[in-house]
Amino acid sequence: MRLHTLEQLGQNGGLEGARVLLRLDLNCPVKPDPENEGAYVVSDDTRVRAALPTIRYILEQTDKLAVISHFGRPKGKYDLKFSLSPVAKCLAAHLGKENEVLFVQDSVEEPAFHLTRKSRDQLVLLENLRFHPGEKGNDKEFSKSLCEGFDFYINDAFGACHRSHASTVGMPEHMGRGKIGVGKLVEKEISALEPLLRGPEIPYVVAMGGSKVSDKIEVLINVLEKCTHLLIGGAMAYTFLKANGIDVGTSRVEEDKLELCLQIQKKASERGVKLLLPQDHVVAAEFKEDSPAEITSGAMIAPGKMGLDIGPQTRMQYKSIIASAKNVFWNGPMGVFEWESFAGGSRAVAEAMAETSASTVVGGGDSVAVVNKCGLADQMNHVSTGGGASLEFLEGKVLPGLWVMRDY
């Protein structure tokens, strides 16, 4: 699929002085501001930092830039918890222009292109698009109203490209060919993920964690066509183990996915893929951060205990396999990484990926939080901001936000 890039749109001064509407994914985690009661601050600025190359490139061409994004799931109405105000401050700090990011609470009352005209040398950031029901509903009038007066629409929100919303589909449809393009982050994401979809150099190791098999069915099936090793961790491992007749105590299990797990294992066997399950665990009696952790001597978990992380033996095995890989893709933590007693498995995978000479891709979501927490993000070849979009891309699905941007 051919997509127009920023550089192509900027050829022969195409972006100079133009009014540019930039769709970003600024859906950043926030936490209460300790210095300002009732306010919030960004707790993980990964997505803000990822957007900076595109923002800076555009600002070199024009001073008429409006940025739009979603944040959380406010259900079509204003909710302070989902305001982009903390993100505006974070963005300003990164740009070094604390007084030059104009945050607009209501873009409907005053169209964005008017604001770009009035506020030269300022970047305009509009409030959360999802405060308007027209965003998720892909309302044509809502799309048209936000696009009014702009010369170009740029999509650099890879993490939202799997959504058919007004800001990802409706707006580029309204703008039309020749006035739309993708930003540097989208280019980077596609460049990193496409080789994994086409067929990467082997050994190709996929480490898959997280809580549910049901969340990863399609991508599990699709990666089996390409990978040589599939390393299973997280709570989804207990469903696989129980499907194989192994007692898992009170661990989280999707009872309706037991047969599916066996089918996935059968497919792996038929494809010659080595599908590995945890051989030991870190367990506890309760799902609590301070619950005493114990290490099992094997794959079985005793009654009254629940698995909360992969054990030391499994970590060593997984690290060894990653060390010999040519390509590694990781999505989903190996345990409850937020709690130190149960973070060792996820840390082990992150460290193994940092140490290997293989090409390494971290597939968004909580896996990004793990590598950031470990301080290893810079040692990965690519850390995706995509989350669900990354997985759907690797499932082979057509992402609506990219399809609408295609250049015939």
Give Cα 121 to chain centroid, integer Å. Answer: 31
Sign of the Cα torsion 214, 215, 216, 221 reads positive
CB-based contact 218:241 (threshold 8 Å):
no
> What separation in angstroms does the CA of 29 have from each of 41, 42, 82, 163, 239?
9, 6, 10, 20, 29
CB-based contact 54:5 (threshold 8 Å):
no
* 68 φ, ψ (degrees, to nearest 5): -125, 150
Query: Would you call 212 a catalytic residue per the annotation?
Result: yes
Of the candidates 149, 252, 388, 397, the residue annotated as catalytic is 388
Query: Would you call 388 a catalytic residue per the annotation?
Result: yes
How far apart, in whole angstroms, are the C-alpha atoms of residue 66 and residue 193? Answer: 28
Query: Would you call 365 a catalytic residue per the annotation?
Result: yes
With CA atoms as reference, report the closest residue to 180 among 2, 4, 400: 4
Q: Residue 67: left (phi > 0), alpha (psi -120 to 50), or beta?
A: beta
CB-based contact 362:371 (threshold 8 Å):
yes
Of the candidates 159, 181, 249, 365, the residue annotated as catalytic is 365
Burial (0-12, 13-18, 19+ Cβ within 10 Å), 235 = buried
Q: What is the full DSSP assignment across 322-376?
A: HHT-SEEEEES-SS-TTSGGG-HHHHHHHHHHHHSSSEEEE-STHHHHHHHHTT-
Beta strand 281-284 pairing with 306-310: antiparallel
Residue 242: both structure tokens together: 């129980």
Query: Would you call 163 a catalytic residue per the annotation?
Result: no
Of the candidates 49, 212, 267, 319, the residue annotated as catalytic is 212
Place of tokens 């699709």: 222
Of the candidates 23, 47, 163, 305, the residue annotated as catalytic is 47
Positions marked active-site? 47, 212, 365, 388
